[in-house]
Amino acid sequence: MKSFPLRVVTSVESDQPSPHGLWESDPDAIAWDFLGSEFTGLAYANWPIERRVGAYLTHNGMAQLWNNGDAHAAVLHRVLANVGAALRNGTLPTATWAGSRLHPRAERIAVSG
């Protein structure tokens, strides 16, 4: 596995603290946290993966990684490399727009009466 050098960041460019500290030296940890985040859900399904990762990084106080092309590429690479494993272990939701269209909301909700 290729290692990607990342710069050490001494300040955060966002007022929101990172929930797990700064992981600039561990793209795998960032990728796995992203894969378990809201940014992998249906609400963001029409966003390109690069935009989702960027929004996740910014939202979690790591905008400097999104602005650093090498760091962003390293995180994105690890996200894509771990998608299969995340699906298999249940970290990544299996719901998709296609699945939602197959079972319209009216059919999925039991109506009492």
- The answer to whether residue 67 is domain-embedded is yes
- The answer to whether residue 10 is domain-embedded is no
User: Quick one: pLDDT at residue 13?
Assistant: 45
pLDDT in tens, the chain (113 residues): 455 555 544 444 444 444 444 444 589 999 999 999 999 988 898 999 999 999 999 999 998 988 888 899 999 999 999 999 999 998 987 765 555 555 555 444 444 44
Main-chain dihedrals φ then ψ at residue 95, nearest 5 degrees = -65, 140
Q: What share of the chain is helix, strand, coil (3-state, %, to 5)?
A: 55, 0, 45
User: Quick one: pLDDT at residue 11?
Assistant: 43
Under 8 Å CB-to-CB from 60, ≥6 apart: which residues? 14, 16, 18, 19, 33
- The answer to whether residue 16 is domain-embedded is no
Domain count, the chain: 1
- The answer to whether residue 99 is domain-embedded is yes
- The answer to whether residue 19 is domain-embedded is no
**In Å, what is the CA distance from 45 to each residue of 11, 41, 42, 50, 98?**
31, 6, 5, 12, 11
Provide the residue range defining the domain that includes 35.
27-108
